[in-house]
A and B are shown apart, each in its own frame.
Chain A
């Protein structure tokens, strides 16, 4: 293993390139024409353009990515998350070309792609699952009967889903058929398969997941738990480790369930077993297994001191688990919380936002880590995921981590594109979050589906203090301009007309 091609973009591509540096490996970035100047391209040792802005013709095009592998002579492919990371055809193409695939073999990925198939495997080894039904009979009566047998509310889920796409909660029978039809359309478009299944909605459930690692020699371990109950539109926005809702005995039990499942499927590489935790029954139900590195892997890294991406590469190279993972050295310590900063408008249904990031300042504080895909001047395009960065804080306990994250977000500046920073800040100060009283629909219940009404009554005094500051720009350009008297300024030099050559008025200076 000498040269790793990273078949991804954004922060995870940068994260993998950094792991390559740690191991003394060369890294190769791939990019679409929209990303020619992107941060992940600049952070890799080499970069290859693989096509037009549309992901289907670039990041998702197996032939194009394999061309880049041949062009650069890479001997290893890391797929990151999303895109082709759980695509068995891609994994097979990499392996058939005689290269190292960083992930489990296609024979492990394939069966876990089907969510109902994965649940069946979990049930086979005695794990509890959320009661559900496959919608293999499309007849209206069959769909209604399946939901009735589970009991409302139900969740409609795509069989080959991911990222919450196509998931809909249905509270009443009269809404079911329309929801199923809509979910089929979304699933067909997003996953090329319109297979759906139903699951009983578990009220006020928490999302708990367990990181696992497996080597190429049959050894598997769990690397402790995470909680990801703060979600909007079934997508996680805040994650932490450890979960504080469960007792040590319950934690051990959930981690053991994950270990047994990973062993059962012969898992290799880094993966995550996800559970739904019912606070009423205090039982964990198996949900699914993700066969890739997760977005929220840093919280596990921060509490264990374990570099999971380095571990992925070493395990892919064939190192035994015992050399990569030492339970006594990687004991979890303290608490870590991650927030995901998205270019989306929380006050407007969390709609994705695009544009140029005119000014970005990431926090630089003790015990705070920033995994960012963007910096000042970068463009958020309509073609790809709007996640700008993950900001992670560690503390000796949960309150400590919350306080550090609150402080870090205060000095986080994103200008030019609306992002979800205000709602993240609000959540971190919310009594429910601070007390850990969370569940997967908490964001929607507290803030509404359409998002919070933040900034309706901002601190006017603070606002006006800000309003007094002028636009920025190279100060030397003020003097570079002719300090001409202005017709409407009574002889005042107009700094705002001069600075950066941009005026506020009808001056035609642009």
Chain B
């Protein structure tokens, strides 16, 4: 899957992960996703530390996900002042267990448009709701083909990270 993170200095990076038997292969791109920054393997140690391997060299970091931010500590950081950084999840595509039908907002913001009505059939990838915050728009798209069962938001509503936007039934065929 792919997520986007914003560094404290405002750089945005795209992180693509592919789990496998050796660990999770992870590719980080910057510059709008065009510049490959690094490719590494991730493994989690039993105590919760993350082992980051690149070219046979492993570094260990501490990572904590807390709502819409990720806290990262790297005791071996070149600059000890940035041994801990807070990365903001800026936007991401839908993910999660397919069984769940509730679509939520990944960030706190204002609903600026709702493109569907209850009962409407939608295709996977179709834009459903747009949330805006800090001059940034996030489009919530349908993660699967289905029917809008219920709307939990309206234009102008302030939604907090993780707040429910709508319930989308899964089409039986998929």
Interface residues of A (CB under 8 A from B): 358-359, 361, 406, 409-411, 413-416, 418, 421-422, 425-426, 429, 454-473, 475, 478, 481-482, 484, 486-489, 492-498, 500, 502-510
* From A429, A486, A510, contact of B162 by CB (8 A): A510
Decide yes or no whether B143 CB sits under 8 A from chain A.
Answer: yes
Query: For chain B, what secondary structure do more than half of its interface residues adopt (helix, strand, loop), or is it mixed?
Result: strand
Cβ–Cβ contact A508 & B102, under 8 A: yes
Which residues of chain A have C-beta atoms less than 8 A from B143's C-beta? 487-488, 505-507
Give the distance in Å from the alpha carbon of A109 to the alpha carbon of B30 in the complex: 62
Give the distance in Å from the alpha carbon of A358 to the alpha carbon of B63 in the complex: 10
A472: nearest chain-B partner, CB-CB? B48
Give the distance in Å from the alpha carbon of A484 to the alpha carbon of B97 in the complex: 8
Give the distance in Å from the alpha carbon of A454 to the alpha carbon of B82 in the complex: 8
Task: Give 9 CB contacts A-B under 8 Å.
Answer: A358-B64, A358-B66, A359-B62, A470-B17, A488-B94, A489-B95, A505-B94, A507-B103, A510-B162
Give the distance in Å from the alpha carbon of A489 to the alpha carbon of B103 in the complex: 17
Determine how close the nearest CB of chain A comes to the CB of B87; give it in whole angstroms: 6
Decide yes or no whether B158 CB sits under 8 A from chain A.
Answer: no
* From A426, A484, A495, contact of B98 by CB (8 A): A484
Which residues of chain B have C-beta atoms less than 8 A from A486's C-beta? 1, 95, 98
Give the distance in Å from the alpha carbon of A16 to the alpha carbon of B69 in the complex: 37
Determine how close the nearest CB of chain A comes to the CB of B17; give it in whole angstroms: 6
Which residues of chain B have C-beta atoms less than 8 A from A361's C-beta? 62, 73
Which residues of chain A have C-beta atoms less than 8 A from B98's C-beta? 484, 486-487
Decide yes or no whether B32 CB sits under 8 A from chain A.
Answer: no
* Besides A361-B62, A460-B7, A487-B143, 5 new A-B residue pairs in contact (Cβ under 8 A), listed by A number: A454-B81, A458-B9, A469-B72, A470-B63, A507-B100
In chain B between 33 and 61, which residues have their CB closer than 8 angstroms to a CB of chain A? 37-38, 40, 42, 44, 46, 48-50, 52, 59, 61
* From B7, B77, B140, contact of A467 by CB (8 A): B7
Q: Identify which of B42, B61, B80, B144 gathers the most chain A CB atoms within 10 Å of its CB.
A: B80
Cβ–Cβ contact B61 & A415, under 8 A: no
Given A359-B64, A504-B3, A504-B106: A459 in contact with B40 (beta carbons within 8 A): no
Q: Identify which of A459, A465, A504 gathers the most chain B CB atoms within 10 Å of its CB.
A: A504
Determine how close the nearest CB of chain A comes to the CB of B161; give it in whole angstroms: 9
Give the distance in Å from the alpha carbon of A497 to the alpha carbon of B17 in the complex: 11
Determine how close the nearest CB of chain B comes to the CB of A282; give it in whole angstroms: 35
Cβ–Cβ contact B50 & A470, under 8 A: yes
Cβ–Cβ contact B97 & A488, under 8 A: no
* From A411, A472, A506, contact of B140 by CB (8 A): A506
Give the distance in Å from the alpha carbon of A495 to the alpha carbon of B23 in the complex: 10
Which residues of chain B have C-beta atoms less than 8 A from A359's C-beta? 48, 62, 64, 71
Which residues of chain B have C-beta atoms less than 8 A from A457's C-beta? 9
* From B17, B83, B165, contact of A506 by CB (8 A): B165
* From B78, B79, B82, B93, contact of A505 by CB (8 A): B93
Give the distance in Å from the alpha carbon of A348 to the alpha carbon of B59 in the complex: 31
Which residues of chain B have C-beta atoms less than 8 A from A422's C-beta? 81-82, 84
Given A470-B50, A504-B106: A463 in contact with B82 (beta carbons within 8 A): yes
Decide yes or no whether B74 CB sits under 8 A from chain A.
Answer: yes
Give the distance in Å from the alpha carbon of A299 to the alpha carbon of B48 in the complex: 33
B162: nearest chain-A partner, CB-CB? A510
Given A466-B61, A508-B102, A508-B164: A459 in contact with B78 (beta carbons within 8 A): yes
Give the distance in Å from the alpha carbon of A268 to the alpha carbon of B164 in the complex: 62
Cβ–Cβ contact B85 & A458, under 8 A: yes
Which residues of chain B have C-beta atoms less than 8 A from A472's C-beta? 44, 48-50, 62-65
Cβ–Cβ contact A425 & B80, under 8 A: yes
B14: nearest chain-A partner, CB-CB? A467
Cβ–Cβ contact B77 & A462, under 8 A: yes
Give the distance in Å from the alpha carbon of A416 to the alpha carbon of B71 in the complex: 7
In chain B between 107 and 166, which residues have their CB closer than 8 angstroms to a CB of chain A? 124, 140-141, 143-144, 162, 164-165
Given A460-B7, A467-B15, A500-B65: A475 in contact with B80 (beta carbons within 8 A): no
Which residues of chain B have C-beta atoms less than 8 A from A492's C-beta? 1, 17-19
Which residues of chain B have C-beta atoms less than 8 A from A464's C-beta? 7, 13, 28, 30, 37-38
B18: nearest chain-A partner, CB-CB? A492
Cβ–Cβ contact A503 & B63, under 8 A: no
Which residues of chain B have C-beta atoms less than 8 A from A506's C-beta? 92-94, 103-106, 140-141, 143, 165
Give the distance in Å from the alpha carbon of A421 to the alpha carbon of B81 in the complex: 8
B7: nearest chain-A partner, CB-CB? A463
Q: Identify which of B93, B99, B162 gathers the most chain A CB atoms within 10 Å of its CB.
A: B93
* From A461, A487, A505, contact of B106 by CB (8 A): A505
Given A455-B85, A458-B9: A508 in contact with B80 (beta carbons within 8 A): no
Cβ–Cβ contact B74 & A462, under 8 A: yes
Which residues of chain B have C-beta atoms less than 8 A from A495's C-beta? 1, 17, 19, 24
A488: nearest chain-B partner, CB-CB? B93
* From B17, B46, B97, contact of A482 by CB (8 A): B97
Which residues of chain A have C-beta atoms less than 8 A from B46's C-beta? 475
Cβ–Cβ contact B1 & A458, under 8 A: no
Give the distance in Å from the alpha carbon of A497 to the alpha carbon of B95 in the complex: 6
Give the distance in Å from the alpha carbon of A464 to the alpha carbon of B39 in the complex: 11
Cβ–Cβ contact A455 & B81, under 8 A: yes
Cβ–Cβ contact A468 & B80, under 8 A: no
Cβ–Cβ contact B92 & A467, under 8 A: no
Cβ–Cβ contact B104 & A411, under 8 A: no
Cβ–Cβ contact A459 & B82, under 8 A: yes
Which residues of chain A have C-beta atoms less than 8 A from B18's C-beta? 492
* From B42, B85, B94, contact of A463 by CB (8 A): B85
Cβ–Cβ contact B92 & A504, under 8 A: yes
Cβ–Cβ contact A471 & B70, under 8 A: yes
* From A421, A426, A463, A494, contact of B1 by CB (8 A): A494
Give the distance in Å from the alpha carbon of A507 to the alpha carbon of B24 in the complex: 21
Which residues of chain A have C-beta atoms less than 8 A from B48's C-beta? 359, 472-473
Which residues of chain A have C-beta atoms less than 8 A from B104's C-beta? 506-508, 510
Which residues of chain A have C-beta atoms less than 8 A from B71's C-beta? 358-359, 415-416
Q: List the 5 shortest-distance A-B pairs measured between CB atoms, nearest first.
A: A507-B96, A508-B102, A471-B65, A415-B71, A458-B82
Which residues of chain A have C-beta atoms less than 8 A from B63's C-beta? 466, 469-472
Give the distance in Å from the alpha carbon of A387 to the alpha carbon of B1 in the complex: 39
